[in-house]
Structure 1
Amino acid sequence: MQRTRRLASMAVVASLAIAGLSACRSDPAVAAYIGDSTISERQVERVWDEARKAFDAETGKQVAAAQAAVDDAKRKVAAGQGTEADVQAADEALAQIPRTLPITRTDVVSALLSRKLFDQVAQRHSVTLPAELAYDRAGAAVGLPASTEYVRLYTQNAVLQYLVSQSITGAATLSDKDLKDVFRRAGEKQAIQPGTTFESFRDGLNPQLAEELKTGVALRDELTSAAEPLHITINPRYRPMEIVTYAYPRQNAPALDLVGAALDDQATLPVLDVS
């Protein structure tokens, strides 16, 4: 009976502590809390707005050039110097220019938060960023000018993730729990043949993929360990959020996110055994 009361009291104290922490970390002007620091909505808006303006300016130039190519192709057809196929090709090139900003505010929050976390993990492994980084290449991959802060954050996060992953040695064997999460994620993206069982998926796992998953899981655990004492709290408008630590590349399709470190410790209070 005393044990039951003691555990029940612990649950009450813990719930009050979490409620108090949550109440202190609910300023609508804050996008995320991480340790004693914050990521403000103003900071998020600044990074996002810079990206939007740079994207719009670059898109405007591309559209103008593509439209000029269309007009030129039409003039050549009228003058008997071109074909309708030339006009169609120019029209298709114009239509293929992206008109929608390739990132969201949630992406910005994730990039800012990831940068802080990767700094923590990089220090543990004595990893530092190289003096020269391929911002131009990363910008082309993201679809934003290399000069934007978002591309700089994206690039730095990607390089730190790679360097930390390379520094992790002796990754543990994949557990069934790890593999079931991978299996679930792949299934949700229709990347597994219908009717495939978890057991057949696990037993038929490609050895190279298994090693890559081990590294992703090890990095996930490192990030989770670094995040735990920081009591990360994310504004509900940006949840759920995670840092993907392994994505399986696919041809002609987005990479498949198979391992990730979930962020934000403001979950429900763990159930205690009071029996």
Structure 2
Amino acid sequence: MVVVASLAIAGLSACRSAPTVAAYVGDAQIPESRVQDIWDDARAAFDADAEAKLAEARKAVDDAKAQLATGQATELDVKTAEDALAQVPTRMPIERADVVSVLVSRKLYDQLAQRHSVSLPAELAYDRAGAAVGLPASTEYVRLYTQNAVLQYLVSQSLTGAAALSDADLKDVFQRAEKRNAIRPGTTFESFRSGLNAQFTEDLKNGVALRNELTSVAGPLHITINPRYQPMEIVTYSYPLQNAPALDLVGAPLGDQRSGLPVTDLS
């Protein structure tokens, strides 16, 4: 029976490695063309938005310099305008892997929403989410990202009685934090575990509970992610940091993180 099961899994993997497919989720496919469409939409909107912001910032610099010449502005005013121009984002804030992630995540959150009888509200804060992501709210990526975030919150709120954190859970958190240099050098796992406060522990428990829910629906779907987008995971708890990206401490891996499927890179 073990041999038969192994052969079946091997056959499944071989059938789920088309280079034109970004991901397989159960019987569904997420084609590269779908990923490209969302990416192109985001790219066009971002470029247009960035060009408008650059034009406005350049005009502010020119105006400040003109006013400086007539004594209506100071060198500080010019520098402030130049600093604002330099801070206009010109690099896409997402990658194609992010597009694949929101598409796969949506399929899983739809299942969890049905399981826990939750649904999206009629109005969502797309503008606020777009500002956080760095893309116009009109893009399909921002809409998917926002919907996933709201579904994640609603499902998380429906979970009760989160189990105590295991040593394996805490070691994973410790290693993630250590990798980001967010832990004081020389700190041992034992001292890290004993120093956790109640609120942080509760947040971690909720993140782990949601991760376990996602894993429970993902398992039967035999999710396969094109290796060009690996490793990939759905983050279920992040710790905010000052002046730095949030620290992702709990997440549900998507697909086989060690996948060696021969999927051709389409770039």
**TM-score (normalizing by structure 2):** 0.94
Partner of 1:176: 167
Find the aligned partners of 1:153 and 1:266 in 2 and give their Cα distance: 24
Q: Deviations over 1:50-106 (max 9, x none)?
A: 000000000000000000011111111122322221111111000000100100000
Matches within 5 A, 1:103-118: 103-118=94-109
Find the aligned partners of 1:263 and 1:187 in 2 and give their Cα distance: 22
Partner of 1:141: 132
1:266–1:73: structure 2 CA closer, same or farther, 3 Å change rule?
closer
In structure 2, the residue corresponding to 1:212 is in which secondary structure?
helix
- Structure 1 stretches of 5 or more lacking a match? 1-8, 269-275
Residue 195 of structure 1 pairs with residue 186 of structure 2:
yes
In structure 2, the residue corresponding to 1:101 is in which secondary structure?
coil
2:230–2:257 contact (8 Å) kept in structure 1: no
Residue 85 of structure 1 pairs with residue 76 of structure 2:
yes
Matches within 5 A, 1:191-270: 191-265=182-256
- Structure 2 stretches of 5 or more lacking a match? 260-267
Residue 76 of structure 1 pairs with residue 67 of structure 2:
yes
Residue 132 of structure 1 pairs with residue 95 of structure 2:
no
Partner of 1:58: 49
Find the aligned partners of 1:192 and 1:79 in 2 and give their Cα distance: 53
Partner of 2:150: 159
Partner of 2:264: none
Residue 102 of structure 1 pairs with residue 93 of structure 2:
yes
What is the number of equivalent residue pairs in this alignment?
A: 259
Q: Per-residue deviation at 1:159?
A: 0.5
Find the aligned partners of 1:82 and 1:166 in 2 and give their Cα distance: 53
In structure 1, the residue corresponding to 2:142 is in which secondary structure?
helix
Find the aligned partners of 1:128 and 1:135 in 2 and give their Cα distance: 17
Q: Deviations over 1:107-138 (max 9, x none)?
A: 00001111111001111100101111000000
1:228–1:265 contact (8 Å) kept in structure 2: no
1:13–1:54: structure 2 CA closer, same or farther, 3 Å change rule?
same
2:232–2:257 contact (8 Å) kept in structure 1: no
Find the aligned partners of 2:133 and 2:42 in 1 and give their Cα distance: 11
2:68–2:75 contact (8 Å) kept in structure 1: yes
The root-mean-square deviation of aligned C-alpha atoms, in Å, is 1.2
Q: Deviations over 1:122-158 (max 9, x none)?
A: 1110010111100000001111100100000110011
2:175 maps to a residue whose letter is R
Find the aligned partners of 1:64 and 1:137 in 2 and give their Cα distance: 23
The structure having more radius of gyration, on CA atoms, is: 1
Residue 186 of structure 1 pairs with residue 174 of structure 2:
no
Find the aligned partners of 1:265 and 1:101 in 2 and give their Cα distance: 27
